[in-house]
A and B are shown apart, each in its own frame.
Chain A
């Protein structure tokens, strides 16, 4: 068996330019540039490197790019979100999209309207936290949700209606409110498909509606102003 080994061509150590060629100088190695950038070069080497960088545009570019990488890496440390925030984001998926394995069909509703995304009309000013209105759509089913925040007791009231694009109402339909993978609250829709969860603690909830066609899941998040 023949094994072919390909190596990644790094910068060839050729001579820099006419001036440096006369002195027999070659392109700087990245390790030397890094030593210089780290402040680890000796005084004599530092002077020689600086002279070289001033005369060789290729090496100056190498130095600039390596410096940019290092600065970007260092800056990136400040952009690291707290681990619990990443865990929160990862956990968001768990109860929602995993296949049920059973006969139940799961539909993830798409958010089609959110007042949180709407700018205020010119000249209008909000007093306190306004109710947040969301409209989710899954197939031919719409779920209208309003979240009202009660600053006094740090709770929210969530009311909604399950609507069909046809004329039928989704009455007596189970609706669940889940957080952290656990069903916290359950209710049933009334004759016209309305449901309500009154004064539940502020949290991030997944709202599920159990329809004969399948289970519709919505994401309802409490944010600072909803």
Chain B
């Protein structure tokens, strides 16, 4: 199966393939959710090292719980919950380690911020999922325009997509409108 076909598979199919020992399915699952996992410790304002620790811990949890996820259609919800818990754990541990006996630290109720993190993370993942559902060229254009770390110019985007430079802007607009329709069809606005 080609990488593009894996990309088109839903979570249950990917999880099922993972459980059959398909390494490419695992890679697709991890690539699909890499930003979601990493975004949560970033939203908690963790350092790079702590973000990496949380990411690793969640990857391990995910692999350990693949069997439990078999019937779950939304892996993203599981990831958000697990990653948030991991962040709270790390945060609490750091607070304990840095506080001294002399000071009394008033326990912070993080529930409000955590709920905000959960909502934002889910909203952002909904957009990512919708981008994955865009037609191939639209998805390619969105990835080149917004996610390519090399920050390609319109000229080089036009070249790699074999389209006139003048078409990049209108195509982008059409793709974003399609994205909007996709999100509405999925009941997300």
* Residues in A lying within 8 Å of B, measured CB to CB: 8-11, 29-31, 33-35, 62, 65-66, 69-70, 72-82, 85-86, 88-90, 92-94, 96-99, 108, 110-111, 116-117, 119-120, 125-126, 204, 219, 221, 223-225
Contact = CB atoms under 8 A, between A and B. Distances in A.
B30 A79 contact: no
A86 B93 CA distance: 25
B127 A72 contact: yes
Contacts of B189: 65
B177 A11 contact: yes
A70 B48 CA distance: 25
Contact of A75 (B21, B93, B124): B124
A69 B53 contact: no
B37 interface: yes
Interface string B25-55: 0110011001111110010000011111101
B147 A86 contact: no
Most chain-B CB neighbours within 10 Å: which of A62, A81, A96? Answer: A81
A179 to B, nearest CB: 13
A48 B91 CA distance: 50
A89 B48 CA distance: 16
Could you tell me the dominant secondary structure of chain B's interface residues?
Answer: helix
A223 B56 contact: yes
Point out which of A85, A88, A116, A126 has the most chain B C-beta atoms below 10 A from its C-beta: A85
Interface string B140-183: 00100111010000000000000000000110111011111100
B63 A92 contact: yes
Residue among A76, A79, A86, A117 having the largest count of chain B Cβ atoms under 10 Å: A79
Contact of A66 (B31, B128, B149, B176): B176
Contact of A82 (B26, B36, B37, B52): B52
In the complex, the 6 A-B pairs of residues with the closest C-beta atoms, listed nearest first: A73-B146, A31-B173, A79-B39, A30-B173, A81-B38, A89-B59
A85 B56 contact: yes
Contacts of B97: 126
B64 interface: yes
